[in-house]
Chains A and B, each alone.
Chain A
Amino acid sequence: MSNFNWFVDGTIVLLYLAGTLTAGLYVRRFITRLDDFLVAGRKVDLYLGIASLSATEFGIATCMANAELGFKYGFAGITPGIAIAVSMLVIGLTGFCIKPLREQNVITIPELFQKKFGERVRWASGVVIVLGGLLNMGVFLRQAGDFLAVVCGFEMSHLELIMTIILAGIALYTILGGMLAVLVTDYIQFVVMGIGLISVTLLIVFKFGWGDLNNTLQSNIGSVAYNPFQGGTYGIDRILLDLLTGFASVLTWQTMISRVLSAKDVKTGQRIYQGTSPFFLVRFTIPVILGIAALHYFGPEAYEENVKLAMPGLLSAVVPVGLIGLLVASMLAADMSTNSSYMIAWSSVIYNDIMKPIHQGLWTHAKAIRWNRILIALIGIFLLLYGLWYPLKGDLWVYMQVTGTVYLSSMSVILIAACYWDRANNWGAIAAIIVGSVIPIGFLIMQQLEATAEIAAAVGPYKAGVATFVFTGGAMVIGSMMKGKMTNK
């Protein structure tokens, strides 16, 4: 039974939705050039950049995935957040890769690759980025639907309708207002999300008591809940994968890097990364606390079959009327900012890199913007269909890591090589793309097939993920050196 009250809480949610849509639609009239639509004319300043990047990278799927980590592993589940936060801070301070990338005034990473490796590598990189990105994003809608259904007390049979309505609202302002609308709504969403998450977290901690939450961890998980290095629960291979994906995502994840590319200058881009880096601790810490609280409230058996629903189940039961409306508005805010940014990020890569051989950069701004709008709509339809039928197996966070690895491994290796290795060439880049895609996609297929599911379970997603990074790096070096030798001969 949910505490959600349709009159009080429903009004709060409606007010938030009306405000966001109005703001998003208001700025659509200022879109005249493709740069305005895809990178907001490269005019983004520090605080808006921090708000936008933070809001984008915290969605309902992330919150549920990270709460699941808290429920299963306790505070050890914060480890990926520490890996990403440290990576972002180091890259922001040093400008590693992001400085040369922003200086080139490109819209996407593959555009930079063309300068070093040629058109084919640009096109192939675009395909890999979109493939990995869409697979990763494919589960977002279902998670959002699950969350809202549990927290608001909808029938699960209404899930498809909820998912469609959420997506239609997001698509409307993204299609019309592009990156400008995404940034303006991200700002509103950052503030609403912050108020909601802080209020609910403090309420939960004070309601259950910090000492009692820790007692629950001690009795259910033991000391490994506090130390990811101890025992086999979390494990070294998983920590290593967290570090690799954290570093690679900060360097190449299109939704993150697009904030650097939209920044008004290189220095601002670096400062956006520096300022946002602690947010990645928040992104894990708050959901992990909610996950631990769900374990405390329900016990380990109640949600054994679907741990992801434990956190929304807890919130629907303990958050009072009024605050639950703010919570739903804040989670909708989190999800809308994520989905809108992701849709525009992948559409920009499809148009800018995959469709490059068709338009050759010669189409008028109006035609280019029209095509980007069509692409965003098509991505929305894909998300709806994929979100409905893909049966998720294993941890949600692991699924997102594995699908993300499809492109994180090859793109990070190629980006580093493009920026800092003179002998890198297109053979190495193509080899890295092939190896970086085959291993994670193969692993996902093996997980789904009955005949190979046991082998996939024995290898595990962490070793497969780490192997992807190692072999991709090797492929880049070997491929580049082979071409070098052939040319010398």
Chain B
Amino acid sequence: MIWFWSIFVSLVIVWYIVITVLVGIRGAGDIKKLVRDSKNSHDKN
């Protein structure tokens, strides 16, 4: 079973590195859009 957990842990850490970078980049765009939309609806009200 050691080989199973070794592969499992490696995949989980690689996935975490990839998703941290991906969400770090793409999430910034989402934040900007969310704040802009909130600002627009606030100005309308």
Contacts and interface: CB of A to CB of B under 8 A. Distances in A.
Contacts of B1: 75, 223, 226-227
Interface in A158-190: 180, 183-184, 187, 190
B35 A27 contact: yes
Contacts of B29: 47
A279 B34 contact: no
Interface string A375-410: 000000000000000000000000000000000000
Interface residues of A, number: 46
A49 B35 CA distance: 14
A227 B2 CA distance: 10
Contacts of A12: none
Contacts, number: 116
A282 B15 contact: yes
A378 to B, nearest CB: 26
B3 to A, nearest CB: 10
B34 A198 contact: no
Contacts of A281: 8, 12, 15
Nearest to B44: A32
Interface in B29-45: 29-31, 33-35, 37-39, 41-42, 45
**Residue of B2, B8, B22 contacting most chain A CB atoms (<10 Å):** B2
Interface in A35-91: 36, 40-41, 43-51, 54, 75, 78
Nearest to A180: B38
Contact of B27 (A30, A47, A195, A289): A47
A51 B27 contact: yes
Interface residues of B, number: 32
Contacts of A210: 6
A75 B5 contact: yes
Contacts of A183: 31, 34
Contacts of B22: 47
A48 B25 CA distance: 10
B24 A180 contact: no
A55 to B, nearest CB: 10
Given A191-B24, A282-B12, A43 B19 contact: no
Contacts of A278: 12, 15, 19
A214 B15 contact: no
A32 B42 contact: yes
Nearest to A184: B31
A472 interface: no
A75 B40 CA distance: 49
A43 B16 contact: no
- For B17, B34, B35, B39, which residue has the most chain A Cβ atoms within 10 angstroms? B34
A194 B35 CA distance: 23
Nearest to A276: B19
B30 to A, nearest CB: 4
Contacts of B38: 27, 30, 36, 40-41, 43, 180
Nearest to B26: A47
A282 B34 contact: no
A286 B13 CA distance: 8
Contact of B20 (A29, A78, A190, A214): A190
Given A47-B22, A190-B23, A41 B41 contact: yes
Contacts of B31: 48, 183-184, 187
A136 interface: no
A279 B42 contact: no
A30 B6 contact: no
A191 B20 contact: yes
Contacts of B17: 194, 198
Interface of B: 1-2, 4-6, 8-9, 12-13, 15-17, 19-20, 22-24, 26-31, 33-35, 37-39, 41-42, 45
21 contacts: A30-B41, A32-B45, A40-B34, A43-B37, A43-B38, A45-B33, A45-B34, A48-B27, A48-B30, A75-B8, A187-B30, A191-B27, A194-B19, A198-B17, A214-B2, A226-B1, A227-B1, A278-B15, A279-B19, A282-B13, A282-B16
